[in-house]
Structure 1
């Protein structure tokens, strides 16, 4: 009798594990669709300039407008997924990505291609915001950081291979083939979402609204603190990515290929940092991992400024060796502060995720220009490393001054108070 009971229970447990693995893979491809589509096209930009007979700076708009589309997608689709559900909004985004990919294939002029790329990002980036909300729907607060880290770590492998894959596709089949691949990938994800993604949205309280969610989130010091910490940490990446090529190639006189190799080391450090989160999240609290990451981030940023003052980081090994420590720590700060932000009001996880993603990408577009200025208009690394140190201090400041100690999540009393304020305004 005992054996008859235990076998079905064991089978059910194994099915649960299989389903969780399938869901993890689905979250990875949902998250990766937009960034992979972005980097697939980068190697083909010179060919686009030749095909359309336009300057490289104009062709670059296929990238910059794509990033704008990602930012707007975060802001729009996150709240919509709270209201209408994760699955229907995800499927609508994928449908737009498929149609826009076909528009890219049929584009006869560069402006048509730029518009189609914007729409492709607007739809394809739905997975970036919705996957974080799904993770919050399914997992307790202390496990969210580990799950986000795991999704990012696996996704980064595909993302790092995307430029190489795009180059091979363009060389063998032409640049149009890249958009056939993106369209096929969007169709495959849409089929998988239809068949395997359950609706995970939490039941919303009666009278809940987008305005009410925003009121509660903005009244929460915890949400604002976690969100600022995550957004500021991400700007360290954009700043260094903007200024790094000028420092290595102009100040240090190295080749672009060498810069690419050194920059890959920071991506590897970020990847390892995410794996570290996955490994140690079950043993340590979300806030403790954030503080550990902030301490390492400050230490690495301070060392890079010291090397700048002493004139020691005019060789790549010193600059990137210390930056690897910063990026390792950055992974912990970003994943766990994102987890904290979307845990403040679980029923509004999509809205919180969308606001965070919008600020991250929107400010990042400006900060990358700042990084390029600091790297390209000076003869020393000091301005760039000082800016990164200032951002590291700002990350720590958002946690020190905004996130309540010992009670990082918003209390039920705060939610009720914010909802009462909203009713009073209406």
Structure 2
């Protein structure tokens, strides 16, 4: 397959750093924004008390942060295609450093909320650009494995970030969290400035180039729309379950919030395991095969969970979360490989593709988390949530069946590369 073996598929503008350094850079630039999100969560009650405001106002330091994550991706992805990965990354992290310092010296909760929005706007640059860099550096069939590897390593850090934030707040106060975030963002920026080469593919600036050309080329491709929707819909399973979970476990089942937290951690662990399996299997199987394996396992787990719900067994956390762990293992296969497919349809527009996908994922995520909360809080059993997860799993499979052409993705990529080579020859 030319997209894997052809020389133009992995051309770099400058030599790549060693694989260990590159992995570290990708993980840190991807993780700095989400880790900063989770670190503050344990301190929300203290923030409300410190500023004398309601907890719902303090919650806006999280909710508007997520809005910043979504807005950043739709902006920074196209900018990285136009101006390069390095300058956009450094500018975004520079904004995050300044905003994090603003959080330290915030004198009111509205000031802190505004600073958190800009902190997310800058920090999310690493999330969107890291996927584009992976596509710049690796052939199509390795992209899914690399995304899974980065997610797997990052999730280990995310799983302890809330605990670390809680310890910081207890020992030194909530402002200490932002001192650490500022220092971390500064270290990531220095690492990128010193060790990361520019990886963006050279663009000819012709009629098919530029932002408009990228957008029309991407959204005119059934393959891109199919892969993107598959990835986005799969992510909504996570948001929906996370929104409903506290109400189901605490309100319906009468368990403590601490017990809910422990059970919810099992889904994150399952997602981590799924990504590690994806890394192992990716070298021997195509992106499409891995997606279909994940879709089949995801639907099987969702149907099994629905069966437990109809049988009345899901009133115990072990039944509900046991099968949800199976769904999350499968979800890792679907999300990482469909993301790889989406950013590979038009490789020179990988940043724009990554940004559009991230924007939809976060934007819809805020709606589906509210939808999940409604399902958990307005019904007396988990069955409505189980039905929603089944429907989302079916919708993921439908995007692959009806939108992604068989063999069309590789053909599209080959035609792009062939056209670039022919134009280079004419010049």
TM > 0.5: yes
Alignment RMSD, CA only?
1.6
The residue number in structure 2 matching 1:10 is none
Which residue is equivalent to 1:372?
Answer: 373
**Contact 1:222 1:410 (C-alpha < 8 Å) held by counterparts:** no
Is the contact made by 2:344 and 2:413 (CA closer than 8 Å) also made in structure 1?
A: no
2:421 is matched with which residue?
Answer: none
Instruction: Tell me the residue number matched to 2:54.
Output: 55
8 Å Cα contact 1:225/1:398 also seen in 2: yes
1:276-323 C-alpha deviation (Å, 9 max, x unpaired): 010000000000000000000000000111111111111011100000
- Mapped partners of 1:18, 1:220: distance in 2: 33
CA distance in 1, matches of 2:24, 2:410: 29
Spell out the pairing of 1:223-238 with structure 2 (5 A cutoff): 223-238=224-239
8 Å Cα contact 1:345-1:410 kept in structure 2: no
2:415 & 2:115 partners in 1: Cα distance? Answer: 43
Note the 1:131-146 alignment, pairs <5 A: 131-146=130-145
Summarize deviations over 1:148-203 as a string: whole Å, max 9, x none.
Answer: 00000000000010000000100111111111101000110111000000100001
Structure 1, residues 239-267: CA drift from partner, whole Å, max 9, x if none? 00000110011111111111111111111
The secondary structure found in structure 2 opposite 1:253 is: coil
Task: Quote how far apart the aligned CAs of 1:411 are.
Answer: 1.9
Which residue is equivalent to 2:87? 88
1:141 & 1:354 partners in 2: Cα distance? 18
2:392: which partner in 1? 391
Aligned to 2:35: 36
**Are 1:120 and 2:119 an aligned pair?**
yes
SS in 2 for 1:202: coil
TM-score by length of 1: 0.93
- Secondary structure at the counterpart of residue 329 of structure 1: helix
Q: Counterpart of 2:292?
A: 291
> CA shift at 1:63, angstroms?
0.2
Aligned to 1:336: 337
Tell me the CA shift for residue 18 of structure 1: 7.3
Aligned to 2:409: 408
Native 8 Å contact 1:340 1:409 kept in 2: no
Alignment match, 1:259: 260
What CA deviation, in whole Å up to 9, does each residue of 1:392-414 have, x standing for no partner? 00000000000001232462698
Partners of 2:154 and 2:197 lie apart in 1 by: 21
Contact 2:218 2:353 in 1 (8 A): yes
Structure 1 position 268 matched with structure 2 position 269: yes
Alignment of 1:414-425 (within 5 A): none
**CA offsets, 1:336-392, max 9 Å, x none?**
000000000000000000000000000000000000000111001111110010000
Is the 1:242–1:368 contact (alpha carbons within 8 Å) kept by the matching residues of 2?
yes
- CA deviations on 1:50-80 (whole Å, 9 max, x unpaired) are 0110000111000000000000010000000
The CA distance in 2 between the partners of 1:77 and 1:352, in whole Å, is 11
What corresponds to 2:351 in structure 1?
A: 350
Counterparts of 1:191 and 1:166, CA distance in 2: 23
Q: CA deviation at 1:17?
A: 10
Note if contact 2:17-2:197 (Cα within 8 Å) is conserved in structure 1: no
- Number of equivalenced pairs: 403
Matches of 2:204 and 2:391, distance apart in 1:
41
Q: Is 1:211 paired with 2:212?
A: yes
User: Counterparts of 1:410 and 1:49 in 2: how far apart (Å)?
Assistant: 55
Aligned to 2:222: 221
Residue by residue, what CA displacement relative to the aligned partner does 1:202-248 show, whole Å, maximum 9, x if unpaired? 01133211000000001100000000000000000000000011001
In 2, Cα distance between equivalents of 1:409 and 1:169: 49
Say whether the 8 Å CA contact 1:344–1:410 is kept in structure 2.
no
Q: CA deviation at 1:142?
A: 0.3
| 1:157 is the counterpart of 2:177 | no
2:96 and 2:121 in contact (8 A); partners too? yes
The answer to whether the 8 A contact 1:40-1:167 is kept is yes
CA distance in 1, matches of 2:122, 2:204: 28
Contact 1:232–1:391, Cα closer than 8 Å, also in 2 = yes
Conserved? CA contact 1:314–1:381, under 8 Å: yes
Q: Is the CA contact (8 Å cut-off) linking 1:220 and 1:410 kept in structure 2? A: no
Asked whether 1:19 is paired with 2:18, we answer yes
CA deviation after TM superposition for structure 1 residue 106, in Å: 1.1
- In the alignment, which residue of structure 1 is the partner of 2:3? none
Partners of 1:220 and 1:410 lie apart in 2 by: 12
TM norm structure 2: 0.92
